[in-house]
Amino acid sequence: MTAEYQVNGDVAVITLNNPPVNGLGHATRTAIVSGVMKAIDDPAVKAIVITGAGRAFSGGADIKEFNSPKALAEPTLHTVINVVENASKPVIAAIHSVAMGGGLELALGCHYRVASAGAQIALPEVKLGILPGAGGTQRLPRVVGLEMALNMIVSGTPVASEKLLKTRLFDQLVDGDLNEGALAFARKVAAVRPLPKVRDLKVDYPNYEAFLQFSRNTVKAMAGPFPAPLKCVEAVAASVTMKFDEGLKFERELFLDLVQTPESKALRHAFFAERAAGKIPDVPEGTPMRDIKSVAVIGAGTMGGGIAMNFANAGIPVKILEMKQEALEKGLGTIRKNYENTMKKGKLTQDKFEQRVGLITGTMSYDDIAQADIVIEAVFEDMGVKESVFRKLDEVMKPGAILASNTSTLDVDKIAGFTKRPQDVIGTHFFSPANVMKLLEIVRGAKTGKDVLATTMALSKKIKKTGVVSGVCDGFIGNRMIEQYSRQAGFLLEEGALPEQVDKAVEKFGFAMGPFRMGDLAGNDIGWYIRKRRYVEKPQVTYSKTADLLCEMGRYGQKTGAGWYDYKAGDRKPYPSQLVNDMIIKHSADIGVERRKISDQEIVERLVFALVNEGAQILEEGIAMRASDIDMVYLTGYGFPVFRGGPMFYADSVGLTNVVMAMQKYAKGRHGEAWKPAPLLAKLAAEGKTFN
């Protein structure tokens, strides 16, 4: 049963029971209507309480039914709210833990609302590129006021119930047992008539026209490419300027328009992709997990320090191992400074600062980390260095400890082979800065134990990362794809573009940063080191030599004050470099390439479709479990524009046939071998299908 019906004396109690958050799926909606009707027909019942079992009142729509016929089947949420609002006996919503989206809209349709302290109240639909579609934009301003309602709906941010106590949203905040408090309140109002309805309230806001205009201007400036925030303002404005039923109709029209926008489709795709990424088909939910109560990190550099901070932030003690005292002290000092900066910004209290810094300790002895439950190495990206570390870890770590490598490109199976316990070895590829970036590529070796995989995935959630599983290959999902993107960026320089034009074109497309600005930030010497290895391992793969020439000039990026761009002391802003531009133009002449004018469209297509083609190859090889996992890697780790949904989703929206046609056109140019469509891409395009 998705909702249970019980009678307690003269009060009927309808308890939503659809774990984990009592989503308002079709069966739950039907059960609510049935329960209300049953209570109305029972002469012994004087009032009705609606509450939620478990961890929520209701989190809103049932995401399992999104994009399915059940989502629109009667009774819809509109119908449920009509039945509740027009009930002849008082209906009281008893809210605890979470009332969000449709759950809050249902509560607003009730005659009264009582709540326990700490309940999270929100209308977060804007985060999916839509707006509340069951009266939320019309009813919320009537109970919390125009300004607060607008802020809540445009931001989608939850507000604690006690902060709303002075508004008309809650008739009572219940101390102690919520169910007992709700029953007592229901009996108190059982005889009150007429029954109060939120729809009958007026939104009172003097000089609302000026406030709404100010809101439009502010939201327009902040909304970027997303249409939903501005539409939220218009819907909320209707609560003041229109009669209730007209406002409801207007809200519905805006909602239906937004559902069809590419931005909303992309945001909804990302929402589901994030949830899907945590599911590993051959590792069922009940897989036993290892207990992680302490962590060790090898290396106190930028990456090792960032990794350690993630665990300290989650309250898990961390020991950092370094070989030299100076390096250890420098690393711990950097961590302390990072936390101090967060505290200065008001995002961390003194207590939390001391707690987190106190959880991170340093050592120069492997014996001190032997009892850690998981050890993550963050040493130099070289197989020889990794080998010496893993042989030592195999020797000293307790049985059952997870041995993780933060490698970004190297063979995790080979690393596991340096130990006598390959089942305990896994790749945990953090992205820099590790304490900020959301992505964690979890690399599953051929012999990685299912319990190790399940534990690492659960750990990624605990440290607030989006964990995405990858198989073993050179560069895994993200870096293997970015190599093709970077190759095309280099070829574009040889053929006629300059770094600034390439970066501006992809940033206009929506990337957080173009390839050359990204190279300067990460350090161009890292790519140079990897390419030198590639020249030996894969002599058949061609690269532009411009990046090598740049590094030979000692221009490694921001850390040396010069890269593809020039930088000024204390200023991270990139300034186009005449020296670099001259080098690029001379290089084109040296290799006999006549430079031409390259359009921004060509730049974007070549960079993005290079990602898509390699992504299709990765999918076909089983390195990624699903296309949406690839999208998650790019949305959370590489600054791909969220409103485009990730490279694979973007390719679907362009049409795979169009992607293949563009690739065939570029195959006629230089380095045409890079444009052979991956078999899966060619097959799906020919069949008119999509990746997702």
Catalytic amino acids?
105, 125
Distance CA 88, CA 592 (A): 85
Distance CA 550, CA 193 (A): 80
φ/ψ region of 119 (left if φ > 0, alpha if ψ in -120 to 50, else beta) reads: beta
**DSSP output for 438-460:** -EEEEE--TT--HHHHHHHHHHH
How many CB atoms lie under 10 A from the CB of residue 118?
A: 10
Structure tokens at 395: 């020797």
Nearest partner of 520 among 563, 580, 569, judged by Cα: 563
Distance CA 552, CA 561 (A): 15
- Beta-ladder partners of 374: 295, 402
Q: Which long-range contacts (CB under 8 A, 24 or more apart) does 181-184 make?
A: 181/94, 181/114, 181/116, 182/49, 182/51, 182/92, 182/94, 182/114, 183/8, 183/9, 183/11, 183/13, 183/49
Do residues 498 and 581 touch, judged by C-beta distance below 8 A? yes
Do residues 525 and 556 touch, judged by C-beta distance below 8 A? yes
How many CB atoms lie under 10 A from the CB of residue 172?
A: 16
Nearest partner of 51 among 87, 117, 88, 5, judged by Cα: 5
Structure tokens at 359: 């959880």
Nearest partner of 435 among 325, 560, 336, 349, judged by Cα: 336
The DSSP code for 123 is -
Do residues 99 and 120 touch, judged by C-beta distance below 8 A? yes
Cα dihedral 414→415→421→425 (10° resolution): -120
Nearest partner of 676 among 668, 686, 685, 667, judged by Cα: 667
The gap between the terminal CA atoms of the chain, to the nearest Å, is 32
Structure tokens at 502: 């390439």
